[in-house]
Amino acid sequence: QVQLVESGGGLVQPGGSLTLSCAASGRIRSIDHMGWYRQAPGKERELVATVTSRGRTNYGDSVLGRFTVTRDIAKNTVTLQMNALNPEDTAVYYCNAVRVTIPVGGSLHRYLELWGEGTLVTVSA
């Protein structure tokens, strides 16, 4: 009943910028954390950036100072602005949502964690 849909991936040259967006669809009452993780070929999935419902952000060390995560609470969207991209940023980027609450009948149901299908970002000349 709830899906995370990413958009904005693609090919970009080193030093370039790219913006990823993720929208949570469905009748959503609230989402605690939203953010982004990535997985490069042959590597484990790693934190990129997250933002809480109160606007507190957390960034992976490798993207700090280059990437910015923002969130629209009312629209249930999260955006990742990526600047100064380098080939090491090449990966599949996954949208993540933690503690998603939706109304079901007369009560509330909570998904502990949801993932999008991922969008590929390739940084190459």
pLDDT digits (tens, 9 = 90+) for 57-71: 999 999 999 999 999
- For residue 50, give the amino acid letter: T
What integer pLDDT is reported at residue 105 of this predicted model? 87
Interatomic CA distance for residues 59 and 112, integer angstroms: 21
Strand partners, 122: 11
Output the six-digit token pair for 66.
């280059």
Strand partners, 57: 51
**Strands 91-104, 10-12: pairing kind:** unpaired
| Residues of the chain falling short of pLDDT 70 | none
**Strands 91-104, 77-82: pairing kind:** unpaired
User: Are residues 5 and 23 in contact, defined by beta-carbon separation less than 8 angstroms?
Assistant: yes
What integer pLDDT is reported at residue 94 of this predicted model? 98
Could you report how far apart the first and last alpha carbons of the chain are, in Å?
40
Interatomic CA distance for residues 60 and 92, integer angstroms: 15
Torsion-angle region of 117 (φ positive above 0: left; ψ -120 to 50: alpha; else: beta): alpha
